[in-house]
Amino acid sequence: MTQKGDDFLAAITAAELPTPAWDGQAGDLQATLEQDLRVLLRSLAEARLELEEAGRRQEAEKREWLLAALDISDAFDRVFHNVHTKDDQITPQMKKWLGNFGTVRRKLETLLAERGVNRIQSLDDQFDPQWHRIVDTVRDMARADGTIIEEINAGYFWNRTLLRKAEVVVVRNEG
């Protein structure tokens, strides 16, 4: 349990409970009820903290699944990139297969978008370490240092939270 959770439970256990206006004979009953109420409040606090922890674990598991789906998406991108470099060697049967792969790729993109996963647009932007990870640099005197010229793997947001940084190639003319 977290320090915050421990503090919360300690506060409940030590809390003053309201005293009902019972006559003097109810002293034992009042003490029993107070103890039962403390036990119930503590159980409620523990259940709330367990529920919060389960939510955090569930979010972490969703994140792992989404990252795995992005790895599959990247694999499709590599296949299409490699095929387009050899257009002259593609047979009619291969075109059919590529069409089917394209359909699967689009369905994967739709599934990710429906779950709040959106691509970071990086090309021709300036490198920003918050959103990008440099995987290579090139010299290009026609462009400013830090200009992104190629995206190796796309970066993604998930419900306005960074899911994965874009892996990019940037211009570096100095050094």
Residue 175 pLDDT exceeds 90: no
Model-level pTM? 0.69
The answer for residues whose C-beta is within 8 angstroms of residue 29's C-beta and 6 or more apart is 22
Which pLDDT score, from 0 to 100, does residue 105 have?
Answer: 94
Higher pLDDT, 30 or 8: 30
Tell me which residue has tokens 């994965």.
Answer: 164
pLDDT band at 31; cut points 50, 70, 90: confident
Which pLDDT score, from 0 to 100, does residue 1 have?
Answer: 56
- What Cα–Cα distance (Å) separates residue 136 from each residue in 48, 105, 148, 149, 170? 47, 27, 10, 10, 7
pLDDT digits (tens, 9 = 90+) for 152-166: 999 999 998 999 999
pLDDT digits (tens, 9 = 90+) for 80-107: 888 888 888 889 999 999 999 999 999 9
What mean pLDDT is reported for the chain? 87
What is the DSSP annotation of the chain? --HHHHHHHHHHHHPPPPPP---GGGHHHHHHHHHHHHHHHHHHHHHHHHHHHHHHHHHHHHHHHHHHHHHHHHHHHHHHHHHHTTGGG--HHHHHHHHHHHHHHHHHHHHHHHTTEEEEP-TTSBP-TTTEEEEEEE--TTS-TTBEEEEEE-EEEETTEEEEPEEEEEE----
pLDDT band at 6; cut points 50, 70, 90: low
Superfamily name with CATH number, domain 118-175: Head domain of nucleotide exchange factor GrpE (2.30.22.10)
Higher pLDDT, 31 or 57: 57
Higher pLDDT, 42 or 85: 42
Which pLDDT score, from 0 to 100, does residue 36 have?
Answer: 92
Higher pLDDT, 7 or 117: 117
